[in-house]
């Protein structure tokens, strides 16, 4: 492989260049577009970005392998900041949805470690084909300590293989009949989290903080315990109502608060005044047909930093396409295409604490780049359910190219 790669002639090069930290308000509209743009990559990193004529004239570009992006949109790889990557095989019904009666925790327990890793790798290949170059992978479907550790071990193996997985432990509603939610969380904080930290199986500690599952006091105990062990906290809330968990998440410096179908005025103010990312997951709402999408327009107008993610999981959101999430954000949540792209790239990178390395095409950053077979980024929402990706580079290596259709010769 050549040490240098020159992507040249992009109809629109979306650099997402901007100040450090998450984008919000009018900043979500700023894509840093360069017409007839080029990207020069050296040793897996972005070396230069600018108009093709200038970048092509650089000494370092003279012997670079060239990728002709003529007529295409070039942008950073998508960052999917909320998935359940290791969840076992899909169990479908005639309705098209997976069986709700099948206990996915038992599926994970009955599936071998090797099989979970193989399935996860195939899924990651699908994510890459759709332009995603980094994913956050949560546990939460393992039901017990053994199952959760099994998921996290698979996450670790997949990250060693691909270098694209950020692992998260999630404390969920799955509490055994022999213990209360408080006893469960106390066991997590005193036994499970220390083991995960010692084995370096997760970077983030997440909690499913819905009303009726954990009390605010329990959420506070979990976030305090997780943070004291060195985990970056995350919170899932707002699917059934505003529970008060957003304020606790912000108080403990949570990296993100996810779902947020329901938000109060206090929630909006807390998010606007913090660097906690509001990660919105339109795929599960679309797939379940519940009809209530997160109030993205209100969140943006009130100053919250918004990210988009697929919430991939076999039960409620089996999509691996961030392009689909962008389309849903525009069609159902009132976001513009520019806002949705920012939410799916640089703000997603902030939601996994990697915005210094990925999420934009800037000097010194990792060369995660995708080429889309369109001439204007605003076309993405119009190609509903269509994969527009022509090529994907990760760390400066071409990891995917669209294959050609070969028609049979006329008889």
Which pLDDT score, from 0 to 100, does residue 346 have? 98
Quickly count: other Cβ atoms within 10 Å of residue 228's Cβ: 10
CA dist 276 and 253 (Å) reads 7
The partner residues of 41 in beta bridges, in order of sequence, read 5, 46
Which pLDDT score, from 0 to 100, does residue 101 have? 38
Q: List the domains of the chain with CATH numbers.
A: 4-76+360-401 (2.30.40.10), 78-350 (3.20.20.140)
Which pLDDT score, from 0 to 100, does residue 255 have? 98
- 37 close to 6: Cβ distance less than 8 angstroms: no
- Three-class SS state of 75: strand
Two tokens, residue 117: 């890793």
pLDDT in tens, the chain (411 residues): 458 999 999 999 999 999 999 999 999 999 999 999 999 999 999 999 999 999 999 999 999 999 999 999 999 999 999 999 998 776 665 555 555 534 566 777 778 899 999 999 999 999 999 999 999 999 988 878 888 999 999 999 999 999 999 999 999 865 454 568 888 899 999 999 999 999 999 999 999 998 888 999 999 999 999 999 999 999 999 998 888 899 999 999 999 999 999 999 999 999 999 999 999 999 999 999 998 999 999 999 999 999 999 999 988 999 999 999 999 999 999 999 999 999 999 999 999 999 999 999 999 999 999 999 999 999 999 999 999 999 999 999 999 999 989 999 887
CA dist 81 and 311 (Å) reads 8
- Three-class SS state of 145: helix
- 337 close to 380: Cβ distance less than 8 angstroms: yes
Record the pTM. Answer: 0.94
Quickly count: other Cβ atoms within 10 Å of residue 186's Cβ: 16
CA contacts within 13 A on the Cβ side of 34:
25
CA dist 253 and 247 (Å) reads 10
Which pLDDT score, from 0 to 100, does residue 210 have? 87
């Amino acid at each position: 492989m050549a040490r240098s790669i020159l992507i040249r002639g992009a109809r629109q090069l979306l650099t997402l260049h901007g100040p450090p930290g998450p984008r919000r308000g009018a900043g979500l509209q700023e894509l840093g577009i360069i017409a007839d743009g080029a990207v020069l990559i050296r040793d897996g990193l972005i070396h230069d970005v600018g108009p093709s004529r200038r970048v092509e004239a650089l000494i370092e570009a003279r012997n670079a392998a060239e990728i002709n992006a003529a007529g295409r949109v070039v942008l950073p790889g998508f960052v999917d900041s909320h998935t359940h990557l290791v969840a076992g095989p899909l169990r479908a019904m005639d309705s098209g949805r997976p069986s709700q009666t099948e206990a996915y925790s038992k599926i994970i327990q009955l599936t071998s470690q090797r099989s979970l890793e193989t399935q996860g790798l195939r899924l990651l290949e699908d994510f890459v084909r759709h332009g995603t170059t980094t994913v956050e992978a949560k546990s939460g479907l393992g039901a017990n300590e053994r199952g959760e550790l099994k998921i996290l071990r698979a996450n670790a193996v997949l990250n060693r293989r691909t270098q694209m997985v950020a692992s998260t432990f999630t404390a969920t509603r799955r509490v055994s009949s022999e213990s209360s939610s408080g006893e469960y969380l106390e066991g997590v904080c005193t036994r499970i989290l220390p083991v995960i930290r010692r084995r370096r199986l997760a970077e983030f500690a997440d909690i499913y903080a819905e009303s009726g599952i954990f009390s605010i006091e329990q959420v506070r105990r979990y976030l305090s315990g997780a943070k004291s062990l060195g985990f970056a906290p995350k919170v899932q809330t707002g699917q059934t109502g505003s529970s008060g968990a957003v304020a606790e998440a912000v108080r403990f410096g949570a990296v993100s608060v996810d779902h947020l179908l329901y938000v109060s005025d206090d929630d909006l103010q807390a998010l606007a005044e913090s660097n906690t990312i509001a990660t919105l997951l339109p795929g599960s709402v679309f797939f379940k047909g519940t009809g209530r999408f997160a109030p993205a327009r209100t969140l943006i107008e009130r100053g919250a930093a918004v990210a988009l993610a697929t919430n991939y999981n076999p039960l409620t959101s089996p999509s691996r396409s961030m392009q689909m999430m962008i389309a849903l954000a525009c069609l159902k949540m009132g976001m513009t295409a520019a806002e949705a792209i920012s939410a799916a790239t640089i703000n997603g990178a902030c939601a996994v604490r990697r915005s210094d390395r990925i999420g934009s095409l800037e000097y010194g950053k990792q060369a995660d780049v995708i080429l889309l077979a369109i001439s204007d980024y605003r076309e993405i929402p119009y190609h509903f359910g269509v994969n527009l990706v022509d090529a994907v580079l990760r760390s400066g290596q071409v990891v995917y190219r669209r294959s050609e259709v070969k028609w049979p010769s006329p008889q």
